[in-house]
Amino acid sequence: MMPAVFPRSSGLLLHVASLPGGRLGPAAYRFVDFLEAAGQRWWQVLPLGPPGPGRSPYAALSAFAGDERLVALREGPRLDAPWVHEYATFRALRDLHRKPWPRWPRRARAPAAAVDRYVRRQGAFDEEWRALRRYANERGIGIIGDLPIFVAHDSADVWARRGLFNLDRRGRPRVVTGVPPDYFSRTGQRWGNPHYRWNRRPVLDWWIARLKRAFELFDAVRLDHFLGFLRAWEIPARERTGRRGRWAGGPGARLFTAVRKSLGPLPLIAEDLGLLTPEAARLRDELGLPGMRILQFSFGPNREDRPHYFPRNSVVYTGTHDNDTVRGWLRAGGEDAERARRYAGCRRGDFHWGMIRVAHLSPSDLAIVPVQDLLGLGSEARMNRPGTVRGNWRWRLEGRELTPALARRLRSLTEASDRLPY
């Protein structure tokens, strides 16, 4: 499934909306310049879709569109893909009725001028994003995108393609997505997305189109919740938590066979965190996809989880958007963080650099560090607290933190760990 596109290398994770000013433009180009100066090969981003209520990039109003608020241009060229008109019509109707689509009038009509405005805004997003990606690629830097497995119920995708999802006659989900109780939440998580009707061929065609669009924007893609392609937690829509549900089957290898036949080999990363079943691990390995290793999950009682045992075909992170920062993790106390500090052989004040060093020196082919950890920030810089809906996705760079001295220090470590581009 995946060619060898991850030679031993490293990169940084930064949500585009976390750039100074919260958008693309000069700040994005300066960040690429910092990556080049620091010897990094990759910029990993969170999903770029227009977020719905709560600002979550994982609950976007479209699985294909970009967030127009990220770009300075108001208009661009008219895009000719089928999803553009669906999205533009959905947004125009949503602006008109100001409520979720199942509550719209049955014969709702969108104002033509409003539809055209959203079409032009998507053209502007595409034009500005492609220019930035080209600038990065010319400097040897690839962009890793993030593809949530599920889509929001109140989205253009579900509104326009209702037959692909498990909905009742009024358009409401019969069951919703989530996970049972786990590390992040004692009551589980109720994400609220509708489930796919995986037994229908149009669902596979929609996924092929979605991945094709993703690779128009990115050089590699992380598949969020890879386990869901084998089985997903179905929660009755009336339930308010993730406690009560059942495991429902997914498409498995059938989807990836169809994708490869249509699009060829693709550089994908499997987000295989959580309760990974043997079947999911086997599918990941059969596809040749690198999985993820998180340092904050690597210092429990089981010594086989330690970083020096990581497989080469993996991506190591100090933490993700769902974790506390490593400094916040240490300050919260706990045996795991103290084991990590002793393993890194560092003082408490230099803990973030100790964790970055551990990640870079690990066997994993690719090492990714969230910018918050590079800067040694505390819990105030955390991106998301799973199971909560307030105060997330708000952290932003001020613009002066990524200094030449910081770039030199990261480049020195990158060279010492044999991750520097040649």
pLDDT tens digits, 117-158: 999 999 999 999 999 999 999 999 999 999 999 999 999 999
The half-sphere exposure of 362 on its side-chain side, counting CA atoms within 13 A, is 34
pLDDT of residue 338: 96
322 is catalytic: yes
Residue 189: what pLDDT? 87
Please list, residue by residue across 326-339, b when 16 or more beta carbons sit within 10 angstroms of its beta carbon and e when fewer do: bbbbbeeeeebbeb
> Which is catalytic among the residues 36, 128, 224, 373?
224
pLDDT given at position 102? 94
Structural element, H or E, at residue 112:
helix 112-138
| Residue 95 is a catalytic residue | no
Q: What counts of helices (H) and strands (E) characterise the chain? A: 12, 12
Task: List the catalytic residue out of 271, 272, 365, 373.
Answer: 271
Query: Residue 5: what pLDDT?
Result: 66
279-326 pLDDT per residue, tens: 999 999 999 999 999 999 999 999 999 999 999 999 999 999 999 999
Q: In angstroms, rounded to a whole number, what is the distance separating the alpha carbons of residues 288 and 271? A: 13
* Per-residue confidence in pLDDT tens, the chain, 422 aa: 555 568 999 999 999 999 999 999 999 999 999 999 999 999 999 999 999 888 999 999 999 999 999 998 778 888 889 999 999 999 999 999 999 999 999 888 999 999 999 999 999 999 999 999 999 999 999 999 999 999 999 999 999 999 999 999 999 999 999 988 877 788 998 989 999 999 999 999 999 999 999 999 999 999 999 999 999 999 999 999 999 999 999 999 999 999 999 999 999 999 999 878 999 999 999 999 999 999 999 999 999 999 999 999 999 999 999 999 999 999 998 999 999 999 999 999 999 999 999 999 999 999 999 999 999 999 999 999 987 888 899 999 998 999 999 999 999 999 999 999 87
Whole-angstrom Cα Rg for the chain: 21
Q: Between the CA atoms of 109, 111, 112 and 118, what dihedral angle is there, to the nearest 10 degrees?
A: -110
Query: Residues 116, 127, 182, 322: which is the catalytic one?
Result: 322
Q: What pLDDT is recorded for position 261?
A: 96
pLDDT (0 to 100) of residue 134? 98
271 belongs to the catalytic site = yes
